[in-house]
Structure 1
Amino acid sequence: MASYNTPFEIHVHGQVSLRGDVTFENIQDALKPLWKYAGARSLTDAAGSFYEDEPGIRFDPTDHILQMCWTVEGDDDFRQALDEMCMNLNEVALTGAAIEVTFYDTEFEDEDEEEDPEAESRDDFVMLFVGPDPAAIMQVQRDLLVQDVISLMERHFDGAELGGVVAAVDQLFSQRFNDLVSSLQLGKPPRGPGGSGGMGHGSGGRKPRHLH
């Protein structure tokens, strides 16, 4: 595609534990939205990243692990491919997993920001979650939130003082899970900067080009 049709470099980063019966063919089917978007005819053709120093997409049949550190050029329509990928990975995942996606605005340069202080990049960051069931997805969401909260609060409090904070987070997730069970459906994760399923432009500077 022409450069004006690909305003983003999109980096997909994550590791998913897979069921023991999952084969390469299953992974190829699950990731079809990604390699089709890249214009490839198979996962093998698309497994290499836009950047040669990145591992790309790798399937370890011995340890049953899918690893992704893969960049592709694209636009906002890539989000649809991500939604389809997550639905497919839910079918083969053994445990819950987080997948980080960074949209890096290739048309915005730091030099432009210095010339025009009002200029804003369209960088975006998305945290996606997959898993075999709602409980597995919520567990990884909970673990990441606890890590973030503890990391933030340890700047001001000793770790031993934060047991109540962790308990409060657990209570919130327990209530959410009970609500989901009652409604018999899994809703989309809430959106918000840095949160579970967050999709929005952040503030305070550009995010790193790649998440390694």
Structure 2
Amino acid sequence: MALSAGSLTFPVFFTAFIVVQAQGGHHSHSHGLGVSSLHTSYVCPEGANATLVCTQSGSKAHLTDVLKHVWFFTPHMDQHCKNILHPRIHGNRTLGVVHKVHDSAFSLTLMEVTKADEGRYCCQSTEVLGRDKNNHTKLLHAHSNMILTVHSRDDSAGQNKNPKCMEFDIRPPAGSSVAAGLASAVCIMGVLCLPLILLLVYRQRQGAQRSRRAHELVRMDR
């Protein structure tokens, strides 16, 4: 059976469909809970007030559910936050910490930071069932993280009476994931189509050889 170029349409279309679905999968939970840090890094002089902000996206699964916002901390910048250590916990008290919740964001403010506050901070939103207050069940949680660096304050020039933090946002370009997806699509289509292309070339060569033999037989008969 001869293989036409049109028969290549199915694997190409099927591969493209898979890639589009994989790309779209990042948005398949657009109504679910999502959290991201407003900035990835904060650099503060000692004595400054550091306000770390996380933004929230999506919506609750049920109107009666409750969202709880929690912050975690680790002094090791190269490690993940552990869900047991909260910022500035001294015994049973939290000192110099202000929590705020807005419509689509929540923040943690550390008053007059010191070198002891330096490390990685993680913000987390947890959705719990709100119908039965005596038996809350966690449904889903989302989290993000950021780095806080604290450096020594220099007041030798009589300046920096109101020290402020600097924010940095180092993220890959927005189009990088799309470009990577397109590159993957091209590679996958190439791999899937290569055997079919080789088979098509083989069939065409066989057809050409049979056609030559038929012409040679006709000439011999004459």
- Please give the TM-score of this superposition, normalised by the length of structure 2: 0.31
Q: Higher helix share goes to which structure?
A: 1
Greater relative contact order, per chain length (Cα 8 Å cut-off, separation 6+): 2
Larger Rg: 2
